[in-house]
Amino acid sequence: MVTLVSPTQTIAALAQMTAQRLGIKKYDLGGAKIDEVSVQVQQGEPKQVKASQRSGITVRVWNERGQMGVTSTTDLDERGLELALGMARDASQFGVEENIPDFSPEATAPLHPLEPVPTTLAPANLLLETLIRAETALLESHPAIASVPYNGLSQRQVEHFYLNSEGANRHQADTSTTIYLYSKTDQAGRKPRSAGAFRLSHGLDTLDIEGCIQETARKTASHLDYQPIISKPYPVVFSPEAILSLISAFSNLFNAQSILDRQSLSNLDSLHQAIASPLLNLYDDALHPQNLGAPQFDGEGTPTRRVPLIEKGVLTGLLHSAGTAKRMATSPTGHANLGAKVTVGAHFYDLLPGTEADPAYDRHRGDGIVWIDDLHALHAGVKALQGSFSLPFDGWLLRNGEKISIESATVAGDIRTLLQTIEYLEPTAEFSRYGMAPHVWVAPLAITGDRDA
């Protein structure tokens, strides 16, 4: 079995030898090998300990007529590559004859150098001990916290690679460590309330476990004294996590493949048109310093980079693969995902904060404002091709700066209207799982609660 622990010269040589034997002149392959250890606990005892090792590659072959066939395999030895290349060659006879995918013109371009990261996984017993201590500390942090039903600590080592018959040979390894804690309360005569937090780091020794405990406890306590909210429009301030999760749900706005497939709110004429408030500047930056495991290249071997999407409210850029870039007469941006069909996806959003503080938009003094901390059910409550959304959320109603937890409510609106009615961006950006962003204030949105006006 050929492993990917070392750079991909071995696989490249094996693929070249096998392709020559099969009479294949043009091919590429890309994939990953993942080693992962994860643990969960319950009331101080191990609940689940899981270790896994998996790998997979996508193989593409072009025949003498230029048609392409695709297959995938989890076997990276000589026999596995021979079967995959042969199947892709046979499948190419049925390949499309228009807009045929091709190698990225940047598959051999220099990559942006990154600092080396540790690639050693901690043993499962150390992860268990660490998570049990974190659960205990969280349970002791507040008398109302009765359990931590959802929790986990995991380490993952991922090695990506891409190579093709024209000499491209990419390889990158990275290790990430993740902890998440989600608490639940138990108070007589009150509904259970929950809150959670997570932290990421390359290694266990640098993971901010204490910060995760404190954030979970603080959020949980802030939701204990909940109240119903009257249904009506409210000015809204979105947390960084909430605003970026909503933007991500409507990423077809700047996805070139979605535009070409006519599955987007944008079209070929939308580029360089104003689609948002002039306050909004949004980038996709795979190499952002806060992006743990920043990919140096995409599924086609194209180097990743910082891509402007919206600048001063104007749609200035799109996310491209090699194929979409060719069809739209531009350059690939490093956002391709290799598969049966090449897809396009974002890496790490960077929504720039405002330049200065404005006392009129102070969350600690706000009155009659809904602060949305976390949106739920985006898979069900978003109509991506219509632009509309109706989503339950966790958050607070601000009354003279005091945070009143909202018992239950949904927020509804249209993403295009929301982007155009952004009123204020706070001057500090914060990390979220989707990227970096500040708190974002928008014009009133429809909030539906448990009480009628």
Q: Give residue 119's pLDDT.
A: 66
242 and 375 part of one domain: yes
Full residue range of the structural domain in which residue 342 is found: 269-347
Is position 85 within any domain? no
Q: What is the CATH number of the domain that holds 176?
A: 3.30.2290.10
pTM summary value: 0.94
Q: Closest Cα to residue 157, out of 347, 4, 338, 50?
A: 4
DSSP 122: P
Q: Give residue 450's pLDDT.
A: 81
Is position 183 within any domain? yes
Among 347, 369, 402, where does a domain finish?
A: 347
Task: Compute the distance between CA of residue 3 and CA of residue 6 in angstroms, rounded to an integer.
Answer: 7
340 and 201 part of one domain: no
218 and 234 part of one domain: no
pLDDT tens column, 45-60: 999 999 999 888 999 9
Q: Which residues contact 180 (CB under 8 A, 6 or more apart)?
A: 150, 151, 152, 196, 197, 198, 212
Q: Closest Cα to residue 347, out of 387, 307, 378?
A: 307
335 and 362 part of one domain: no
218 and 133 part of one domain: yes
140 and 337 in contact (C-beta within 8 Å)? no
362 and 434 part of one domain: yes
Neighbours of 54 (CB within 10 A): 10
Residues of the chain with pLDDT under 70: 1-8, 118-119, 453
Q: Give residue 5's pLDDT.
A: 39
Q: Where are the beta strands (DSSP E) in 139-168?
A: 145-164
339 and 419 part of one domain: no
Handedness of CA 355, 311, 434, 123 (dihedral sign): negative
Is position 287 within any domain? yes
pLDDT tens column, 29-87: 999 999 999 999 999 999 999 999 988 899 999 999 999 999 999 888 889 999 999 99
Q: Give residue 117's pLDDT.
A: 75
Task: Compute the distance between CA of residue 345 and CA of residue 248 in angstroms, rounded to an integer.
Answer: 10
Among 347, 376, 395, where does a domain finish?
A: 347
Q: Closest Cα to residue 144, out of 209, 197, 195?
A: 195
Q: Give residue 2's pLDDT.
A: 38
Cα atoms found within 13 Å of the Cα of residue 49, Cβ hemisphere only: 11
pLDDT tens column, 125-170: 999 999 999 999 999 999 999 999 999 999 999 999 999 999 999 9
3-class state of residue 389 by DSSP: strand
310 and 428 part of one domain: no
276 — phi, psi (to 5°)?
Answer: -150, 175
Is position 235 within any domain? yes
Task: State CA 343 to chain mean position distance.
Answer: 15
362 and 317 part of one domain: no
358 and 277 part of one domain: no
Domain count, the chain: 3
Task: Compute the distance between CA of residue 264 and CA of residue 387 in angstroms, rounded to an integer.
Answer: 9
Would you mind telling me the total number of residues written for the chain in this entry? 453
